[in-house]
């Protein structure tokens, strides 16, 4: 069923497809967690997860100790010490869409490059995902040229018939192999944060652009989420090592090609009008403090400051 739908979608004129886009600019202060419920998290900053409170029903966040799970970068077929994807260190002053410092930067070292969220001691639990949920991903393109990105949600072993395979950088409904387009980043590789927000109902609609099927009732013991560059401009790097105790080379990027950032991947059920609604009863979490020039500060003393929280941003005068 899905293959026939993808073929039909590819033949449709751009007039009906190009008008729709599941990607929009990230709002000031980032996604407002008070506007949703029943969160199923694959990755998010700790402060954002804390702001979800009792609305968090399944926390599968990446484990920095790499005990429960880990972020895996693929290696080449011909040299197990050679990565195809490199984690680019953040520059001074770089912030995520929430105003914090936690996010993933990646660039491909070869014509492909894939990162996977891999289970280790603990299987991924997506069983709470329902047709009422939305898939939400925060991303930015900060490379030297725009790229296309493929995202898989679901077990690697069964992804072709059980899960979602979507692609950013192409028109909604356009097919590219097993992947289906969800729209383009409005600013391309402008380095700004954008949000993917796709209702699961749209993803599984047999009469719509996608026609995916899913059953996440079983624990996922391999990869639950992956991101892949599609036809990128590859980066060049100076390799050395591996260092003692390391299994792959060390890399120093000498020329940046395509590059992607991610700062969250989760499912949620909307409660209200989505991203922008502010709830007075929501627990507030401070995500950053800035002076009036926009420079981040550790603590506020006397003067005018901008306080960013999960409920938005506001100016505060301290005397």
SS3 of 194-222: the string is: EEEEEEHHHHCCCCCCCCCCCCCCCCECC
Confidence of residue 294 (pLDDT cuts 50, 70, 90): low
Nearest to 201 by CA among 133, 297, 104: 133
287: left (phi over 0), alpha (psi -120 to 50) or beta: alpha
**Span 167-195, mean pLDDT?**
94
Domains of the chain: 2-278 (2.60.120.430), 284-319 (no CATH)
Tokens of 78: 């011909």
What is the β-pairing status of strands 23-25 and 194-199? antiparallel
pLDDT for 125 beyond 90: yes
Report the alpha-carbon angle 171-273-49, nearest 5: 90
What's the rounded mean pLDDT across residues 264-271?
A: 96
Apex CA 159: angle with CA 230 and CA 49, to 5°? 85
> Which of the four pLDDT bands, split at 50, 70 and 90, describes residue 95?
very high
pLDDT category of residue 307 using cuts at 50, 70 and 90: confident
Per DSSP, helices labelled H in the chain are: 2-11, 14-17, 46-52, 200-203
pTM of the entire structure?
0.80
CA distance to 13, 15, 181, 185, per residue, from 171 (Å): 11, 10, 5, 10
């Amino acid at each position: 069923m899905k293959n026939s739908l993808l073929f039909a979608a590819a033949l449709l004129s751009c007039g009906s497809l190009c008008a729709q886009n599941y990607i929009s600019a990230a709002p000031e202060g980032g996604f407002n967690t008070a506007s949703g419920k029943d969160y199923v998290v694959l990755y998010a900053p700790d402060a954002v997860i804390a702001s979800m409170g009792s609305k968090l029903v399944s926390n599968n966040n990446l484990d920095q100790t790499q005990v429960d799970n880990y972020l895996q970068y693929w290696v080449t077929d011909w040299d197990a010490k050679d990565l195809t994807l490199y984690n680019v260190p953040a520059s001074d002053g770089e912030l995520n869409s929430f105003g914090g410092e936690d996010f993933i930067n990646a660039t491909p070292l070869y014509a492909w490059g894939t990162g996977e969220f891999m289970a280790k001691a603990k299987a991924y639990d997506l069983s709470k995902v329902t047709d009422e949920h939305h898939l939400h991903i925060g991303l930015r393109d900060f490379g030297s040229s725009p790229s296309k990105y493929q995202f898989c949600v679901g077990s690697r072993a069964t992804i072709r018939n059980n899960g979602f395979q979507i692609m950013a950088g192409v028109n909604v409904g356009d097919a590219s192999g097993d992947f289906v387009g969800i729209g383009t980043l409005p600013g391309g590789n402008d380095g700004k944060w954008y949000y993917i927000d796709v209702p699961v109902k749209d993803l599984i609609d047999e009469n719509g652009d996608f026609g995916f099927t899913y059953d996440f009732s079983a624990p996922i013991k391999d990869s639950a989420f992956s991101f892949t560059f599609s036809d990128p401009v590859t980066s060049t790097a100076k390799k050395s090592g591996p260092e003692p105790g390391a299994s792959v080379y060390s890399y120093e990027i000498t020329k940046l090609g395509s590059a992607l950032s991610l700062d969250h991947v989760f499912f949620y059920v909307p409660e209200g009008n989505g991203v922008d609604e502010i709830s007075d009863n929501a627990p507030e979490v401070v995500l950053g403090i800035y002076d009036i020039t926009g420079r981040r500060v550790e603590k506020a003393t006397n003067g005018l400051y901008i306080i960013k929280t999960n409920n938005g941003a506001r100016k505060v005068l301290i005397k």
